[in-house]
């Protein structure tokens, strides 16, 4: 099926879905222009509308005031694409309510407007617009470095989370055993952002780092293990990247101190059989876990 036939079928279905109507009122029902387009990936713009008793004269898309897409039923072919920097329309994956742009570039950011015009007799025109930004994700990461596989109680735990070459810079958040570290309450975190180069148009890319450091106590461990997770959160998007590492209590003295600390903080009523089971498990672990 050629492109012109594809759009004629879409137009026929739209006419059937809007006939008959009792009230004449052309309106936009939902316009979705993403807050971010991800660099080098496709992005979809949505423009849903209701014709009621009106007839469609034209549907148009603009970027920064420049028209780049037009659907006009009376034209042959009904679709016209106009060249605009940063915009490449994938007509095969588009229809009247959804428009896919191929491979976003830094030039793709801008103000997008969907405009619907009715034919005679109303000649009504409605539109909505919104600014779309570009989000550059890291090639890899975030990545956690600086940790050890085994620790003793009382050791200092130090880890660094790094996210390289992004735009804009993300918010880095730490979780220890699924519990978030509140940077407002804990002075154990240090974060910094530095420039990581510029694009041809002057856009600055950033490298973000966050270091967490604290002294290990028994309550930081769950069943003898500590799981640290770093999340890179990009505000006003649904994108969160993460990296996770796991460290363990060393066998021997480290495990005995861990067990003693646990038991000293446990209610007396919980000792007994529970105490024996855990101590037996720790004795077995001593045989297989390196000191």
* Residues 94 and 71: beta-carbon distance below 8 Å: no
Does residue 185 surpass a pLDDT of 90?
Answer: no
Task: Mean pLDDT check: name the lowest of 54-58, 252-256, 280-284.
Answer: 280-284
| Residue, of 17 and 200, whose pLDDT is higher | 200
159 in the same domain as 279: no
CA distance 62 to 115: 8
* 97 and 196 in a common domain: no
Predicted local confidence at residue 252, as pLDDT = 42
> What number is the average pLDDT over the span 1-21?
54
User: Domain residues for 34?
Assistant: 3-135
| In a shared domain, residues 259 and 244 | no
In this structure, are 256 and 229 located in the same domain? no
Same domain, 275 and 244: no
Whether residues 67 and 180 share a domain: the answer is no
The average confidence (pLDDT) of the chain is 81
Burial of residue 258 (number of CB atoms within 10 Å: 0-12, 13-18, 19+): buried
- Give the number of domains in the chain: 3
Supply the CATH number for residue 11's domain.
Answer: 2.60.40.10
For residues 25-35, average pLDDT? 91
The dihedral built from the CA positions of residue 254, 260, 264 and 266, taken in this order, carries a sign that is positive
**pTM score of the predicted model:** 0.72
Q: What is the pLDDT of residue 220?
A: 87
Least confident of 110-124, 211-225, 242-256: 242-256
Name the residue with higher pLDDT: 18 or 213. Answer: 213
End residue of a domain, out of 88, 115, 135: 135
Q: What pLDDT is attached to residue 5?
A: 60
């Amino acid at each position: 099926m050629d492109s012109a036939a594809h759009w004629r079928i879409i137009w026929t279905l739209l006419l059937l879905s809007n006939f008959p109507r009792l009230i004449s009122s052309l309106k936009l029902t939902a316009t979705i222009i993403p807050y971010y387009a991800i660099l080098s990936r496709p992005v979809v713009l949505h423009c849903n509308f209701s014709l009621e008793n009106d007839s469609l004269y034209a549907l148009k898309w603009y970027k920064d005031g420049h028209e780049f897409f037009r659907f006009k039923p009376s034209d042959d072919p009904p679709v016209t694409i106009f060249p605009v920097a940063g915009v490449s329309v994938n007509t095969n994956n588009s229809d009247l309510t959804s428009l896919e742009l191929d491979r976003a570039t830094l030039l793709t950011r801008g103000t997008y407007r969907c405009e619907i015009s009715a034919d005679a007799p109303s000649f009504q025109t409605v539109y909505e617009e919104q600014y779309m930004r570009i989000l550059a994700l890291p090639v890899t990461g975030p990545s956690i470095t600086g940790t050890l596989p085994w620790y003793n109680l009382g050791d200092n735990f130090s880890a660094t989370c790094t996210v390289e070459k992004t735009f804009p810079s993300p918010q880095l958040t730490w979780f220890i055993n699924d519990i978030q570290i509140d940077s407002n309450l804990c002075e154990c975190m240090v974060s910094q952002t530095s420039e990581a180069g510029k694009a041809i148009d002057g856009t600055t890319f950033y490298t973000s780092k966050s270091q967490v450091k604290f002294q290990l106590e028994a309550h930081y461990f769950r069943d003898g293990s500590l799981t640290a997770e770093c999340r890179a959160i990009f505000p006003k998007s649904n994108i969160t990247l993460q990296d996770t590492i796991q460290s363990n209590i060393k066998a021997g003295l480290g495990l005995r101190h861990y067990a003693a600390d646990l038991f000293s903080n446990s209610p007396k009523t919980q000792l007994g059989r529970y105490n024996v089971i855990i101590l037996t498990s720790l004795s077995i672990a001593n045989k297989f876990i390196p000191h």
